[in-house]
Amino acid sequence: MADESTLHPSHKRSCMCRPLNIPRTKPTNEVYSIMKDFNVTDDDLKKYMKLLMADLHKGLAKATHAKSIVKCYPTYIQDLPSGQEVGRYLALDLGGTNFRVIMVDLQKNHFEMTSRTFVIPNEKMLGSGKDLFDHVAACLHLFIMEQKLNDECLPLGFTYSFPLIQKAIDRGIIERWTKGFKCDDIIGEDVVKVLQEALVRKGINKNVIVKAVINDTAGTLIACAWKSPYCKVGLIVGTGTNACYVEKQQNAEMFDGANHGSGLVLINCEWGAFGDDGCLNYLRKPEDIDIDKASINPGKQLHEKMISGMYMGELVRLLILKCVKGGAIFGGKSSSELNQKDKFLTKYVSDIESEKLGTYDKSKAILESLGLKNITETDFQNVRYICECVSRRAAFMCSAGLATLIKKTEEKRVTVGIDGSVYRYHPHFHNLMMEKMKQLVTPGVVFDLMLSEDGSGRGAALTAASAS
């Protein structure tokens, strides 16, 4: 069992043997019937698991990898941390609208961290690769100055949370961008080289040596493995979604590194792309199609668009609007704010669902801030029900995905290290996953879900430590 202090807060309160208390709101009949086909059944999830398992095999095998959708990139990480790593390391965490610079001081079985978060302006997310990485280097420079590290030379682990064709622990080719980023001029380039060139331009290449580049899922797995030897799977449900797991090198046909002894390698599944060949169309609804069409990467990351934080609030907004049009909510009247794309934040889903059933203070504040007036108790219930349908579907799909990966590891006991804003802040996501996974994981296999304390950054530092 994982160390209690690292378990998800809602996990600590629950007993794994009792059914968990997950509140469910009662909607009106009209809203119920509009939302009806948004519910995924166990048969749907079993079909999903078969499809994902087949895609994992395709991604791993040389003969099918090029055409595979779930790419299963080998990460070149072969060893999980022992807890004995020591020293001072830097980490960069690039993967969402914010990015972080972190300094980690690893002592035996103990660590200290200092970090600073910087915003990435939208124009840098959509501009040239040079501009984006100059911004990264400028922020790193600021951090080095603030922490008075200018006379030092520290190893750095780079958490880069986008599809990367890894060629070595410190080399990886940018395959494409996701989650609102589109710096397409550097696709095909080695991301570590791009970063190093920016460090040279900023004059800090003597202070920093990039030792490793890793995905956030890998960072999360590694950070949790530092505490639990059973951690073999890593999951992110945040702005985007993805998972990684520990695979035998003999099954990872695309892995061309030398075996350092463990015979294992961490696989970055890039499961956000699952369904891009149409195999998940049986689960996709008109609103999923609309979200995809309005995105900057249509046709791509279809699985991610059904699950992750970048899209969850927008899905709820489109479904509320559908109910408004049918006259089933707000007396058939919308507001100009509610009619605008992305105005219903994913954070609202967590806020609304965290209220005690029958109380609507937060819901009222949220809906009024969206310009809605004369909201009735039934409206509050209906909105909450729509949120529940969307977050449940996401949690159940993640559960089916994890049950598939746990099966693929062939282990009898698996801890899953998890991070990301949806998992961390949604009040019932963890419990929903526990419930569903109990039904889907192979009987006899023991699993638990561990919230990563600052996963990916510390994982990057630990990987830099192993690589040093």
Which residues are catalytically annotated? 100, 161, 216
CB 439, min distance to ligand BGC, A = 26
* Residue in the structure block whose two tokens are 């509009």: 34
Taking CB under 6 A as the rule, does residue 172 contact ligand BGC?
no
Answer for which of 272, 275, 313, 417 binds ligand BGC (CB under 6 A) is 272
Stretch in the footprint of ligand BGC (CB under 6 A) among 45-53, 183-191, 237-245, 259-267: 237-245
CB 367, min distance to ligand BGC, A = 30
Tokens of 73: 């990139």
Taking CB under 6 A as the rule, does residue 75 contact ligand BGC?
no
* CA–CA gap between residue 330 and residue 435 (Å, rounded): 33
For residues 315 and 288, the answer to whether their CB atoms sit within 8 Å is: yes
Taking CB under 6 A as the rule, does residue 163 contact ligand BGC?
yes
For residues 251 and 410, the answer to whether their CB atoms sit within 8 Å is: no
Stretch in the footprint of ligand BGC (CB under 6 A) among 160-168, 250-258, 291-299, 363-371: 160-168
Sign, Cα dihedral of 222, 226, 232, 237? negative
DSSP labels, 432-468 = HHHHHHHHHSPTT-EEEEEE-SSHHHHHHHHHHHHH-
Residue number with CB closer to ligand BGC (143 or 181): 181
Instruction: Give the number of residues in contact with ligand BGC, rule: CB under 6 A.
Output: 17
Taking CB under 6 A as the rule, does residue 311 contact ligand BGC?
no
Taking CB under 6 A as the rule, does residue 304 contact ligand BGC?
yes
Centroid of chain to Cα 34 = 29
Taking CB under 6 A as the rule, does residue 388 contact ligand BGC?
no
Residue number with CB closer to ligand BGC (169 or 329): 169
Residue nearest ligand BGC (C-beta atom): 240
Residue number with CB closer to ligand BGC (179 or 408): 179
CB 163, min distance to ligand BGC, A = 5
β pairing state of 98-107 and 87-94: antiparallel
Run of H or E residues at 291: helix 286-293
CB 301, min distance to ligand BGC, A = 6
Taking CB under 6 A as the rule, does residue 179 contact ligand BGC?
yes
* CA–CA gap between residue 185 and residue 188 (Å, rounded): 9
Taking CB under 6 A as the rule, does residue 155 contact ligand BGC?
no
**HSE-CB of 145 using CA atoms within 13 angstroms:** 9
* CA–CA gap between residue 46 and residue 49 (Å, rounded): 5
Single-letter code of the amino acid located at 80: L
Q: Sheet containing 110-119: which strands, arranged edge to edge?
A: 110-119, 98-107, 87-94, 154-160, 208-214
Taking CB under 6 A as the rule, does residue 236 contact ligand BGC?
yes
DSSP labels, 361-420 = HHHHHHHHHTT--S--HHHHHHHHHHHHHHHHHHHHHHHHHHHHHHHHHT-SEEEEEEES
DSSP code at position 336: T
Stretch in the footprint of ligand BGC (CB under 6 A) among 47-55, 61-69, 148-156, 159-167: 159-167
Residue number with CB closer to ligand BGC (74 or 163): 163
Per-residue contact flags (x/-) with ligand BGC for residues 251 to 270, judged by CB under 6 A: -------------------x
Taking CB under 6 A as the rule, does residue 457 contact ligand BGC?
no
Residue number with CB closer to ligand BGC (95 or 313): 95
Taking CB under 6 A as the rule, does residue 95 contact ligand BGC?
yes
* CA–CA gap between residue 27 and residue 389 (Å, rounded): 11
Residue number with CB closer to ligand BGC (212 or 366): 212
**HSE-CB of 288 using CA atoms within 13 angstroms:** 24
* Residue in the structure block whose two tokens are 């899905």: 315
CB 191, min distance to ligand BGC, A = 12
Q: Indicate the SS3 state at residue 327.
A: coil
Taking CB under 6 A as the rule, does residue 399 contact ligand BGC?
no
Residue number with CB closer to ligand BGC (93 or 379): 93
Per-residue contact flags (x/-) with ligand BGC for residues 415 to 454, judged by CB under 6 A: ----------------------------------------
* CA–CA gap between residue 324 and residue 173 (Å, rounded): 46
Residue number with CB closer to ligand BGC (78 or 161): 161
Taking CB under 6 A as the rule, does residue 322 contact ligand BGC?
no
CB 423, min distance to ligand BGC, A = 11
For residues 282 and 214, the answer to whether their CB atoms sit within 8 Å is: no
Taking CB under 6 A as the rule, does residue 178 contact ligand BGC?
yes
Applying CB under 6 A, the residues found at the interface with ligand BGC are 95, 161-163, 178-179, 215-217, 236, 238, 240-242, 270, 272, 304
